[in-house]
Amino acid sequence: MINTDIATKFADRETPFYYYDMDVLARTLEAAHEASQKRGFHVHYALKANFNDVLLKRIQEIGFGADCVSGNEVRKAIECGFTPQNITFAGVGKSDKEINYALTQQIFAFNVESIQELEVINELASKQGVKANVALRINPNVDAHTHHYITTGLDENKFGVPNADLEKCASVLKKCEFIELVGLHFHVGSQITDMTVFKSLCVKVNEWKSWFEERGTQIRVLNVGGGLGIDYKNPDGNSIPDFEAYFDIFDRFLERKPYQEVHFELGRALVAQCGSLISRVLYVKNGVKKNFLVLDAGMTELMRPALYQAYHKIDNLSAVETEESLNYDVVGPICESSDCFGKEVPLPDSGRGDLIAIRSAGAYGEVMASRYNLREEIRFVYSDQL
Ligand code: LLP
C-alpha cells in the first residue's frame, strides 16, 4: 500500500526508482510458506522474476529453495545463502560452461528439456566424475489461457521433451550412468488466474507419472512449476494471492505416494505486489487526439506493457483524490511508440513534477530493465529504509 505519508518521503528522491514494500513482501512470503508447509510442499522461488539481493535474502530466510535459469542465477542464489541442495537449474539452452559450474556445486536438480541435453549432461558429469540429478521436463500440452508470449506448455512451444520423444528418452536415461533421475518437471505458463488450468495440469502429471512407473522408473519428485497469477487491477485490495486455493488444487488432484515430494517454482506470485515503479511527470502534453503524461520512467525500466501489452495500475501520488479525473496516455521518454504504460488512463488532473506509481511491478520489472537510449542504472528504495 502506498499512502500519502510514504509519498511525502519520496519527495526529495531522484526518480525513477523501484520501491519495494517489505511488509507486503513479508506477508506474501508468510502466506505462501504457511499454505505450502502444511501440505508438505516444497517451494523454489523462480529468480527470473526478480533477483534483487535484498529480496532474495528475505526469500531465502523463509526457507524456500531457488529455481534458476542461468549459471549466473545459480551463482547469485548461492551468494545470497540458498544451499545448492535446494537449487534447481532449468532452461531450454544451458551452455556447457553453465552445466559444468552447476555440476561442481552439486545442485538439487537440472530440469532437462531434450534428449540431447541429457546426453551432454551425462558426458560432462562423467568428465567431472560426479552424478547429475535430473528432473525431466515434459511438455504436457495444457493451455494456460494466458498471454501467448508467456504460454509454455503447448506442443507448439519450445519447452520440454515432446511426448513423442519420451519412449526414447526413457531408454537413453537407462544408459546414462552419470545421471540420476529424481523426478518429472512441468510448467505451463505464467500469470495464470484460472485455477482449472492447474487441475488439468494435475491430470497430465498423474498420467506421466504412471507412465514412467509402468516402465519400472521410480519418480521421487513431482515439480509442477510456477505460474500462479496476481491481481494487477487491484493491488491494494488483493495484495496477497490466494495460496490456499492454489496449493489446495494440487493437494486434491495430484496422486502421490508417501515418498513422493511435490515441488513448485513460484516467481511472480511471491514478489509482484511488493514492487512499484515510482516516476515523476516531466511534461503534460495535450495532443490533437490525446492528453499525454510524459514520465521520466519508460519501457527501459518496466518493459511489460510494451512487450506484452500488460496492464499495470497507475496512481498519481501527488494529486488530491477528490479532483475530477481526466484520461491520459501515460508514456515514457524513450524513442519508441511502444513506450507507453497505459492508454486512456483515468487520473486526477496531473501536472509537472507529480509523483506517479506504476503498481505490481515487483516481478519481471527490475530484472527486465535495459540501458537502451543509454538510460541510467535503475535505483531502489526499500520501505524499511525510508
Ligand atoms: N518455472 C519455469 C520453468 C518458468 O519458465 C517460469 C517463468 C517460472 C517457473 C515462474 O513462473 P511465475 O510463477 O513467475 O509465473 N516476463 C514475463 C513472464 C515470463 C515467465 C517465464 N517463465 C512477464 O513479465 O509476464
What is the rounded radius of gyration, in angstroms, for the C-alpha atoms of the chain?
A: 22
The answer to whether 81 touches 60, Cβ cutoff 8 Å, is yes
| CA-based end-to-end distance of the chain | 14
pLDDT score at 370: 96
Question: H/E element holding 235?
Answer: none
Exposure on the CB side of residue 316, measured as CA atoms within 13 A: 26
Whether 255 and 209 have beta carbons less than 8 Å apart is answered as: yes
The DSSP call for residue 255 is -
Q: List residues near ligand 1 (CB under 6 A).
A: 46, 48-49, 67, 90, 150, 152, 187, 190-191, 225-228, 265-269, 304, 308, 364
pLDDT of 183 above 80: yes
Which of 137, 138, 190, 192 for mutating ligand 1's site (highest number of atoms within 8 Å of CB)? Answer: 190
Whole-angstrom Cα distance, residue 168 to residue 246?
34
The residue whose CA is least distant from atom 5 of ligand 1 is 187
Q: Give the Å distance between the CA of 161 and the centre of ligand 1.
A: 18
Contacts of 3 (CB under 8 A, 6+ apart): none
> Does the pLDDT at position 151 exceed 70?
no
The residue contributing the CA closest to ligand 1 atom 23 is 364
Q: pLDDT band at 166, cuts 50/70/90?
A: confident
What kind and span of H or E run contains 223? strand 221-223
In single-letter form, the type of residue at position 263 comes to H
Percent share of the chain, pLDDT over 70: 95
Backbone angles phi, psi at 263, to 5 degrees: -115, 150
Is 69:47 a contact under the CB 8 Å cutoff? yes
- What is the Å distance from ligand 1's center to 267 Cα? 7
Residues in the chain: 386
pLDDT at position 150 is 58
